[in-house]
Homo-oligomer: A and B are copies of this chain.
Amino acid sequence: MRNLVTIKDIAKNLNISVSTVSRALRDTYDVNQETKAKVLETAYQLNYKPNYNATGLAKGQSHNIGIILPWITNYYFSTVLTGIQQFAYSKGYNVILFLTNDSPERELSIIQNLSIANIDGLLVSISSNSDSCSHFQNIINEGIPIVFFDRVPSSISTSKVMQDDYSGAFAAVEHLIENGYKKIAHIAGPKGLCFTEKRLQGYLAALKKHNLPIREEWIIFSGFSQEYGENDMYELLKSEEVPDAIFAVNDRKAIGAMIALKNKKIAIGKEIGVVGFTNDPASTIISPSLTTFAEPAFDIGHKSCELLFKHINKKNFIYEEVTIPGKLIVRESSRSNIFSS
């Protein structure tokens, strides 16, 4: 009984086109605010409810997509999710959220419990120690497309969206070199993650290009939190030869390293330069402010969702691997070392 009111009734009531009403209800940004407000008000007055089954896209059935993420209490993932949510909403799709807490067991349990009749596709950033990805391949085999982003498995052929981890790391390290730093250490991510490896390779390539030393004791692999960064920095300060700069795999760990340096009364940006990766808002709050390679988090969410809809709507869509560029943002933590040594 609920669906007797259609968008035609709203259009007729307002004397505007059905497509304008449709776009206003989908909040597609190409309808002016006044019209949108009128449409929403009229829809509300008439007690209009959308009938998804009648307006279904080519293949989509449930109008739900699932998102599997390690967590959302950091800037990067919450911003990616905002990009996903905005795109999905503009297509009239719901976003169902699953958090793995970075646990491969939980990830497997989510996939096992997934009611695939209830979703048209999945967006996934895998957990750190997800050693086998066959559970994802199973889902794809059942006809549910998956697009991976950020933390992507190399073993599965489907669309993937990444930032340019290699070039970002290369640019970050070359920036330190151009500012006179010569003994550059790397506080890396956990081993086994694709982006840990790519950022490491970018770091190594920049050092090689400029004939700077590569020392095993200057490369530390550990978890993502600020505490890991702080502990890693204390370790580096114990090195036989202490580095004069740090490239950290993310801003949280860079900030941890800065806290260690502050505790040891070492002048950041003078004695030891620091560059991070993310552009977390905290990078402008800490003093000195943190130079960082800004990840295009919102765009990664948006693009991943766009590709997923291509998979959902076009049978046999050829998968794409998309790399979205970021940019280096120079702040105080990497001030020139040229004149201080």
Contacts and interface: CB of A to CB of B under 8 A. Distances in A.
B44 A135 contact: yes
Interface stretch (A76-84, A208-216, A315-323): A76-84
Contacts of A48: 112
A50 interface: yes
A116 interface: yes
Contacts of A135: 44
Interface in A58-95: 63-64, 66, 71-75, 78-79, 81-82, 85-86, 89, 92, 94-95
Contact of A96 (B36, B75, B95, B109): B95
A73 B64 contact: no
Interface in A233-287: 255, 259, 262, 281-282, 285-287
A105 B37 contact: yes
Interface string A106-134: 10111011111010000000000000000
Nearest to A66: B94
A40 interface: yes
Contact of A287 (B44, B75, B287): B287
Contact of A97 (B63, B95, B110): B95
A311 to B, nearest CB: 20
A95 to B, nearest CB: 5
A140 interface: no
The A interface, classified by DSSP as helix, strand, loop or mixed, is helix
A25 B106 contact: no
A110 B97 CA distance: 17
Contacts of A110: 89
A285 B285 CA distance: 7
Contacts of A138: 47
Interface in A23-42: 25-27, 33, 36-37, 40
Given A109-B40, A115-B50, A115-B63, A96 B94 contact: yes
A286 B282 CA distance: 8
Contacts of A114: 49
Contact of A73 (B43, B82, B106): B82
A224 interface: no
Contact of A72 (B82, B109, B118): B82
Interface in A198-219: none
Given A27-B109, A73-B78, 9 more contacts: A26-B113, A36-B105, A40-B108, A50-B113, A63-B115, A72-B72, A72-B82, A85-B98, A86-B99
12 contacts: A33-B105, A36-B105, A49-B115, A50-B112, A50-B115, A64-B118, A72-B78, A85-B99, A89-B110, A94-B115, A95-B97, A226-B281
Interface of A: 25-27, 33, 36-37, 40, 43-44, 47-50, 52, 63-64, 66, 71-75, 78-79, 81-82, 85-86, 89, 92, 94-99, 105-106, 108-110, 112-116, 118, 135, 138, 226, 255, 259, 262, 281-282, 285-287
